[in-house]
Amino acid sequence: MWGLGVLFGGALLQAPTAAPSTTVVSPAGPWRTIAAGLAATPAHGRLLVRAGVYREATIQVRRPVEITGEPGAVIDGEDARQLMRITADSVTVRGLEFRRVGASFTEDRAAIRAEQVRGCRIEDNTIEDGFFGIYLARVTGCRVVGNRLHARRASESVSGNGIHLWSADSVLIAGNRVGGYRDGIYFEFVHHSEVRNNRSERNLRYGLHFMYSDDCRYQENIFRANGSGVAVMFTRGVEMVDNQFLDARGSGAYGLLLKEMTDSRLTGNLFAGNTVGLVAEGATRLEARGNEFAENGRGIALTASSQDARFIGNGFVHNSFDVTTNSGNTRAEFTGNYWDDYRGYDLDRNGLGDVPYHPVRLFSLVTEHNPPALLLLRSLFVHLLDAAERAIPSLTPHTIVDSSPAMGNPARLVRRSHD
């Protein structure tokens, strides 16, 4: 590396700068614990952890350093303690395996916990059977990238979250795989942050849980087979782009819940195989454009408390009910959506149906107040109700109607991932 230069014969020659100091920790070396290696590593130095299993008290990182693990470098908490606590700015933790963080009912123990810091980087680590996996509190400008987190907790009461952020700003969560926790990814009081290209599946409660976290974006994530899918609550200005909400099944389960939301955007997402694809409850000025709702029990459950919602150019395919509502006074704009049950025509060949479509089936209103009636879903009685509805559409809410239904599916199909 080259630093400051001097003029020599009219040319500027760069003087070499010293490379970061490296301290090596190994089971047979002069530094045999990570704590001892950190004590010997200067600020902005590098600590290299050789392969081996390290069992020691909670590792305290109090100065800016880079901690890098070679393959096979394992920190084992023996189900008794938190593993690493970071309280310095500009710390990097990379390539380590963390095991067995003990559960606690009095503290949020984590494999890696960073508090009141800026610029931390937690990358390419493996966390097995953590209570909490990665816990960031009051941080700014941190990156959590390429980590693999897996837990085996039996119930929510003895489980923490995989990646947990509280009171944070400008954080990137990208390329992680999280499973088996209470919530895969959890945001509370987080702002201007991005969740991108993560896979969160088979978590006990939510794949992603947002609360009071404004102006954030999540994109190209896969949320699959979580207890109740994804919940975004009490938040404004959230963008949700090209995500997959898959296989959230069970009583009260949904792919995505938007509760008490303002000015949110849903674009290019796939909702497939869920009991309910999207629940909009108190979602004000929601705009959903170019999404696909396929093979859900209910595609969209839209409550009367949602105001000024717009659904434009979405596709609805093979759902038991495309749209349901809890009130005949629910208002929303539907324009240019594709409905596989639409039986209209396009005489002027502009790609839009000439007959408006009422997506709320009469039978869905019956089941909204009498859930056991779902047993009749495939019966002749329901077919007769559907026929009556088509003949007299005033039986269903006149405030939910697509006046220009698409004749072909305009939604950009997102490939469903099974790997």
* 55, 185: one domain: yes
* 126, 176: one domain: yes
* 151, 41: one domain: yes
Q: Based on the structure, what is the number of domains in the chain?
A: 2
CATH code at 142? 2.160.20.10
Q: Contact, 170 vs 122, CB < 8 A?
A: no
Q: Contact, 339 vs 357, CB < 8 A?
A: yes
Q: Nearest 5 degrees, angle CA 49-CA 52-CA 58?
A: 70
Tell whether 290 is covered by a domain: yes
Q: Indicate the DSSP class of residue 192.
A: S
The upper half-sphere exposure of residue 233, i.e. CA atoms within 13 Å in the direction of its Cβ, equals 9
Percent of the residues in the chain that have a pLDDT greater than 90, as a whole number: 67
* 275, 176: one domain: no
Q: How confident is the model at residue 12 (pLDDT cuts 50, 70, 90)?
A: very low
Tens digit of pLDDT for each residue in 135-147?
A: 999 999 999 999 9
* 351, 402: one domain: yes
Tens digit of pLDDT for each residue in 319-329?
A: 989 998 877 67
Q: Which residue has the higher pLDDT, 396 or 93?
A: 93
User: 336: which residues sit within 8 A by CB, 6+ positions away?
Assistant: 312, 313, 352, 402, 404, 405, 406, 410
* 164, 194: one domain: yes
* 223, 244: one domain: no
Tell whether 32 is covered by a domain: yes
The domain boundary, picked from 202, 227, 252, lies at 227
* 195, 278: one domain: no
Least confident of 84-88, 304-308, 414-418: 414-418
pTM above 0.75, yes or no: yes
Q: Quick one: average pLDDT of 369-386?
A: 58
Tell whether 51 is covered by a domain: yes
- Its domain, for residue 253, covers 237-360+397-419
Cβ neighbours, 10 Å, residue 370: 9
